[in-house]
Amino acid sequence: MSRQPVVKTINLCFSFNGQEVLKNINLEITAGEMVGIIGPNGAGKTTLLRLLLGLLKPSSGHVELFGLGPDKMGEKRDAVGYMPQRTNFDRNFPLSVLDVVKMGLVTSSVFGRPFSRGHLEKAKLSLEKVGLLSLKDKHFGELSGGQQQRAFLARALCKEPALLILDEPNTGLDLPTQYHFFSLLQELQQAENLTVVMVSHDLAVIARYANKLACINRAMHVHGTPPEVLNSPLLEKAYRCEYEILFGRERG
């Protein structure tokens, strides 16, 4: 079996309008790992995900997914599933849960064409994996926040990816719903040997499920297992004044 990292960044830098956003990010993620990207607001976490996906180009340095640059992946791009941040939408827009999940199968080759039976079966299988198959015909706007996130997860799983990238999947969810979502994600990751990279603002929750954490604030401050990262003095440096707010209850 190849030991080639699934995700690798080498001295990755990104600037916008002359402002340095990320500087010399070096990160390796191997197959089957669940890695949480953490850091304060404005640290560049979402920018890092967009660089991994090829939605942004580095100012310098390199990104590799499965040994290839994001712009060189071609058909291998289907090996990457993406769940963006939850956005506002018109709850009255006439979309069923199945309609939303099918969007994960849209490519330039099928855009504007009816979905095949094979596509429909893939969408239904993804809904079954997240426990929502019985709600496939329900109006998407009628789902709870947690159900919507599971539907978005199903959409990201439609192409049966090997790498799953999630941007703040627990935003807006209460604590029990967050635990339910991450428990489901962990089960899927282990059952399908997925490599998972996700940004999260909730350290306590993500540390409970991730194999490793990478803390960034423009630069990489600390990377390792959850105990190594959470007990590192470098974490306080990364979060600065936010640190006491984040950990005040745990330390009190």
* DSSP string for residues in 14-29: EEETTEEEEEEEEEEE
Characterize 153-164 residue by residue with b for buried, 16 or more Cβ atoms within 10 angstroms of its Cβ, and e for exposed. Answer: bbbbbbbebbbb
- All domains of the chain in start order, with CATH: 7-96+163-251 (3.40.50.300)
- The whole-model pTM stands at 0.88
**pLDDT tens sequence for the chain (252 residues):** 456 899 999 999 999 988 999 999 999 999 999 999 999 988 999 999 999 999 999 999 999 999 999 888 887 888 999 999 876 566 677 889 999 999 888 764 444 556 677 788 999 999 999 999 999 999 998 999 999 999 999 999 999 999 999 999 988 888 899 999 999 999 999 999 999 999 998 888 999 999 999 999 999 999 999 999 999 989 888 887 554 445 444 433
